[in-house]
Amino acid sequence: MSYSDVHTGGRRLRYEVSGAPDGVPVFLLHGTPGSRVGPKPRAGVLYRLGIRLISYDRPGYGGSDRHRGRSVADCAGDIAAIADDLGIGKFTVVGRSGGGPHALAAAALLPRRVTRAAVLVSLAPHDAEIDWFGGMMPSNAQEFGTPAQDESRLVESLRLQADRTRRSPVSLLESLRQEIAGPDLPVVRDLMMQQLLVETYAEAMRGGPYGWIDDVLATRRDWGFRLKTISQPVRVWHGAEDNCVPPAHARWLAERIPNAELTVQPGTAHFGAVEILPEILSWLAQPSAVLVG
């Protein structure tokens, strides 16, 4: 596995680059829990799409040092540091699941650098005026629904889950199979997808539980930016049968992002975001998104 490290604010960030060296730069922001290793399209697909894909471990995951108390908004500085290290001036971003809020943060807080953004099966803010937990699978509802005064209990629960995942990455996949919606089952039964997910979970927990813990705490709190300030074109995609993050979250986001285009796709669920990613990358690489670095 090839990777690079950059230091910012006294912390190490680990990232890797794949695809076309002269392609449109796209930051892929992983889910919760997750890591830079994927799942993501193969190099041949990225070359064909003209994409230079950059993925990194959010603080506390994989090879990136923890940033205690981080907010969703803090990711913008990390993304900018990696782009600077690569000599990239402008770029596009796509975030999947827990990476969705972070992609929106980059668009809001780096308006002169991020030219397009996409969010796939993303959470809405915790104070969104929706039935936040309606249709959500029990484990996620418990994770995100723990009262603020009981956060220490939530942290301990996540610590135990992370330790179990570190010792047996396949255990997280097995627990997901017990709860995910029907359209997701064929996706996670695919042997190649299973391997990709196990690899990304193993790498995510390699340095301990704090990436997962801090991700959940950050998304439960104020994100640190306002959606209405996002001026770039944004694609919001969601599977209509998603029970990890119900589609009401996507609808709420799309209503509040000025230039958002919403797709809620029938017959798909949460892991449909992996299958739709090449199409989203193609949109991000359209001529209007080709940039001078």
My answer on whether omega of the bond before 33 falls inside 30° of 0, hence cis, is: yes
Residue 10's domain comprises 4-289
Q: For 11-20, what is each residue's pLDDT tens digit?
A: 999 999 999 9
Task: Give the pLDDT of residue 142.
Answer: 86
What angle separates helix 151-167 from helix 191-204, to the nearest 10 degrees? 120
Q: Write the CATH number for 145.
A: 3.40.50.1820
Q: For 183-222, what is each residue's pLDDT tens digit?
A: 999 988 999 999 999 999 999 999 899 999 999 999 999 9
- Which pTM was predicted? 0.95
Q: For 247-273, what is each residue's pLDDT tens digit?
A: 999 999 999 999 999 999 999 999 999
- Which pLDDT band, with edges at 50, 70 and 90, does 289 fall under? low
With H, G, I as helix, E, B as strand and everything else as coil, classify residue 247: coil
Q: For 148-172, what is each residue's pLDDT tens digit?
A: 778 898 999 999 999 999 999 999 9
- Percentage of residues in the chain with pLDDT exceeding 70? 97
Task: Give the pLDDT of residue 242.
Answer: 98
Q: Is there a contact between 16 and 57 (Cβ–Cβ < 8 Å)?
A: no
Total domain count for the chain? 1
Interval 30-55 mean pLDDT: 95
